[in-house]
Structure 1
Amino acid sequence: MPSQSRLSRPTRRGLLAVGGALGAGAALAACGGEKTSGGKAEKAAEKSGPWSFTDDRGRKVETKAVPKNIVAFTGTAAALYDYGIEVKGVFGPTKTKDGKADVQAGDMDVAKLEIIGNVYGEFNVEKYAKLVPELLIAPMWEKDVLWYVPEQSAKKIDSLAPSVALWASNTNMEKALARHAGLAASLGADLKAQPTVDAKARFEKAAARLRAAAKARPEIKVMIGSASAELFYVSLAKMSADTLYFQELGVKFVEPKVDAQGFFEGLSWEQVGKYEADVIMMDNRSAVLQPKDLTAKPTWAQLPAVKAGQVIPRVTEPIFSYAKCAPVLDDLAKAIETAKKVS
């Protein structure tokens, strides 16, 4: 689900790109979350010899040597960075309009990255070719479609280097984390490095906390929201790796009547009170409206969860490293533990 573009028609891919929450003609910019100390593992060891990896398309990618010149979607690159794997170039939300690191860039130093494209629909093929790429890595929200790789340029891009695609939907967070860790290990990461071991332990502890919170507070209902000027989108939990996992841990979510695309229901601001919720998780991506931007909308201000101060960020496009995902679970657990029943 993840950048910033103007769309000529509301395709599922385009709507996901605008936050899974913006309408056609709207714009959007992330498992990101706050930067965490110790997020980056020890520098990956140099590996030599043939390399192979079977991605989530079932495609086995083989090269004569471990790829070094890697180009990846920003959030995926940020996950690899936490394991000590650094890429040469990125595409996807990397810098905000003021030049700062986008939430999806994690702990990477964006000043050192070659940015192939910063918004949805933008991918500079010439820049990409000049990097002499050995591997391209991207998330996959729809089967066989690489996220943020423009369809009109896909064949040309594919001809320059082999690609690896990893599911961001049709899986849960736990499985997505394991797949990203496995990819990092194949590229030289040491999964037994202490920072990685500690981060995984924090994640497991946070998952146990969230499970306990959901069990102790079964009456608390959570709504997954995202906002544009015209519409408020309520997402279906089972469609994304993060919220599916939270649901599996026992969190009770609002279940919207999704459109034909299957990911969310778009409501006018007059209808925003259609669903009752005790906690609202709001899309944290940099190009969607944030709660502070919605104060002028009276229907938003009247929502019980808003009046109770029970609105938290949702890391809509997680950076799939244990270091980044552990705080996400802890934040939701805390919100459920402390929430007042207002619905």
Structure 2
Amino acid sequence: MIMHPLPEGVPLRRTSRRLLGGLLALGMTVAVSACGEESTDTTGSEPAEGGWSFTDDLGTTVELPEAPTRIAGLNDLAASLWNYGLEPVATFGQTSAEDDVAFEGRDLSDVAIVGSSYGEIDLEALAAADPDVIVTTIYPVDSSGEIPADTAGYGFTDQAQQEQVAEIAPIITIAYRGSAADVIERVVELADALGVDTGSGTVADARADFETASEELTETASSGVSVLPVFATEADGWWMAKASDDPQLALYQELGVNFVDPGGDGYFWNSVGWEEVPNHPSDVLLYSLRFSMTPEEIAAQPTAALLPAIEAAQLYPWKYIGPDYVAQAAYMEELSGYLSEAQRVTG
């Protein structure tokens, strides 16, 4: 997230508008061709004549003289590729990689952290990391799953910033929509194109662990306890995620997790003020680990304290982790543990 879109009202610190003319003088030559209506195959890469190519989920084909080895990008996707053995040279995202649970246990000493707030990317530092490609994700604009042509990739404030980044290295974009099961497979295809053996070894083992974790989650979810993922801020109140709009949550829902429908007409979130929080009870609350209030701070809110899940101390972390077998298997095991110990406390 979950990777996921930031709720409206969460402030974004914008990167400066410095015109880095020096970037244009770096002599980086890449061939990037946007595929229009004539090309709709985004299933993987086709080897260019004597080179390397990959067609991403926007229909853009990145072509290079040889397979890229120096990869930079958004924390979520960079962490997933690292789980398959591809250590990034640079990362950026909503938070610093040092504070991102997706990188827990990783030695980041050789990774340039070029952004630690959404849209704040140090272009000079990114250029100095000398990436061959830059990877990111992109979200639809609504529940239809549509991604308009002028939509900037996740992690970029707008198209102008994205174009500046593309001057450093070509951008590969993976769409984060539908079920994470499909997104995971797409990332495997990208890893395969980048030279990872996805049919055996680490990836095959991770796939087996993922399948086991999926079965376990289905079993524990059969208890029927209701689950509500939330992003809580003292000033803006309660943001409740819609499982069908979040690929990670959609996957868990497919496996049987009973998510509460928070209502509302908006995409991804339904937000309410603190006075309305008691109207959205659940057996379990999953609280965001990114920017949200802590469980103690949530429980200290008078209206939130009335919720059955809080009265039963059934609050557990909602981790935004990458679309890969390793990370998802690990979190599904955690979620299974939460659901197995939780009791039904709503009417």
The structure 1 residue matched to 2:315, chosen from 302, 311, 317, is: 311
The structure 1 residue matched to 2:288, chosen from 283, 286, 306, is: 283
Partner of 1:36: none
Distance in 2 (alpha carbons) for counterparts of 1:26 and 1:340: 38
TM-score by length of 2: 0.79
Partner of 1:195: 202
Whether the 8 Å contact between 1:78 and 1:106 is mirrored in structure 2 is no
TM-score by length of 1: 0.80
Closer, same or farther: CA 107–76 of 1 in aligned 2, 3 Å: farther
Q: Deviations over 1:250-272 (max 9, x none)?
A: 22211122353x11111111211
1:181 aligns to 2:185 (yes or no):
no
Whether the 8 Å contact between 1:257 and 1:265 is mirrored in structure 2 is yes
Distance in 1 (alpha carbons) for counterparts of 2:322 and 2:217: 19
Q: What one-letter code is carried by the residue in structure 2 that aligns with 1:274? A: N
Partner of 2:122: 124
Q: Deviations over 1:267-306 (max 9, x none)?
A: 1112111112111111122x22221332421222221111
Q: What one-letter code is carried by the residue in structure 2 that aligns with 1:279? A: V
Which fold has the larger relative contact order, with Cα–Cα distance below 8 Å and residues 6 or more apart in sequence? 1
Partner of 2:9: 23
Partner of 1:90: 91
* SS class of match (2:326): helix
Distance in 1 (alpha carbons) for counterparts of 2:302 and 2:170: 50
CA RMSD of aligned residues (A): 2.4
* SS class of match (2:272): strand
Deviation at 1:140, TM superposition (A): 0.9
Q: What one-letter code is carried by the residue in structure 2 that aligns with 1:334? A: G
Distance in 1 (alpha carbons) for counterparts of 2:109 and 2:335: 32
Distance in 1 (alpha carbons) for counterparts of 2:89 and 2:11: 32
Q: How do 1:99-138 and structure 2 match up within 5 A?
A: 100-138=98-136
1:158 aligns to 2:162 (yes or no):
no
Partner of 2:143: none
Distance in 1 (alpha carbons) for counterparts of 2:243 and 2:306: 24
Closer, same or farther: CA 259–109 of 1 in aligned 2, 3 Å: farther
* SS class of match (1:227): strand
Distance in 1 (alpha carbons) for counterparts of 2:265 and 2:64: 42
The structure 2 residue matched to 1:243, chosen from 249, 257, 262, is: 249
1:297 aligns to 2:283 (yes or no):
no
Stretches of structure 1 lacking an aligned partner (at least 5 in a row): 4-12, 28-48
Q: What one-letter code is carried by the residue in structure 2 that aligns with 1:157? A: V
Distance in 1 (alpha carbons) for counterparts of 2:83 and 2:227: 30
The structure 2 residue matched to 1:146, chosen from 148, 153, 157, is: 153
* SS class of match (2:279): coil
* SS class of match (2:271): strand
Whether the 8 Å contact between 1:85 and 1:188 is mirrored in structure 2 is no
Stretches of structure 2 lacking an aligned partner (at least 5 in a row): 14-49, 141-146
Q: How do 1:210-289 and structure 2 match up within 5 A?
A: 210-214=217-221, 216-218=222-224, 220-230=225-235, 231-260=237-266, 262-285=267-290, 287-289=291-293
The structure 2 residue matched to 1:329, chosen from 329, 332, 335, is: 332
* SS class of match (1:81): helix
Q: Deviations over 1:203-247 (max 9, x none)?
A: 101111222233x323x2111111111211111101111111111
Partner of 1:56: 57
Whichever of the two has the greater Rg, that structure is 2
Q: What one-letter code is carried by the residue in structure 1 that aligns with 2:118? A: Y
Q: What one-letter code is carried by the residue in structure 2 that aligns with 1:56? A: D
Identity of aligned residues (%): 28
Deviation at 1:126, TM superposition (A): 2.1
